[in-house]
Structure 1
Amino acid sequence: MKTNDLTDLAIPGTTLDVRVTPKASRNKIERDGNALRVYVTTVPESGKATAAVQKLLAKALGVPKSRLTLIRGEISRDKVFRIDD
């Protein structure tokens, strides 16, 4: 699983705009301007893809996944996460 180093974004209170592509060939994160594109291999059913995105983002940010809160986009490809204290 290859991820970019996103530790520079790991500031409490920061919101991250994320575009998700489920059922990808591999898990990866790409920066696209101010937004992030996250590719996950899981299927988009029952929140599995969202959970995979949260886990992948947390690892790249260097924060526990409990500090990432989904603000918007529970069933959408476009999601917004907030980094909590």
Structure 2
Amino acid sequence: MDPWRYSTEGVSIALRVTPRGGRDDIDGIETLANGRTVVKIRVRAIAEGGEANRAVTELLAKALGVPKARVKILSGTTSRLKQVAVEGDPRQLGDALKKLTVAEPGKTRD
């Protein structure tokens, strides 16, 4: 099951964020212990003063090709688990998320 839901305005994405992750990157999909699936994201920014949240919205906007103003954190502003809304064409956003989160054979992430 995909960790995002479609709506008429765009998509809502469940995230697990790692601040101070060494780089800004999308690391794929993870299934949590409770069975919920999330998109794993790491950012270099620290989780202080909203810096990590800002880095997350900028990373998602760039990766999905939408303006930063179209990415909003719905819940989890002080948690690693977040729900984020991205405005735009739901089908295009869903296709982009699938490409960003699929593990390519033979590709290593470092």
* Mapped pair 1:19 → 2:22: no
- Measure, in 2, the Cα distance between the counterparts of 1:26 and 1:13: 27
Identity of aligned residues (%): 37
Question: What are the ranges of 5 or more consecutive residues in structure 1 without an aligned counterpart?
Answer: 1-8
Structure 1 residue ranges, 4+ long, deviating more than 4 angstroms after superposition:
none
TM-score by length of 2: 0.63
Equivalences for 1:34-53 in 2 at 5 Å?
34-53=37-56
- 1:63 is displaced (CA, Å) by 0.4
- 1:36 is displaced (CA, Å) by 1.0
For 2:78, the aligned partner's letter is I
SS in 1 for 2:41: strand
Aligned residues: 76
- 1:30 is displaced (CA, Å) by 1.8
For 1:49, the aligned partner's letter is A
Task: Provide the aligned C-alpha RMSD in A.
Answer: 1.9
TM-score by length of 1: 0.80
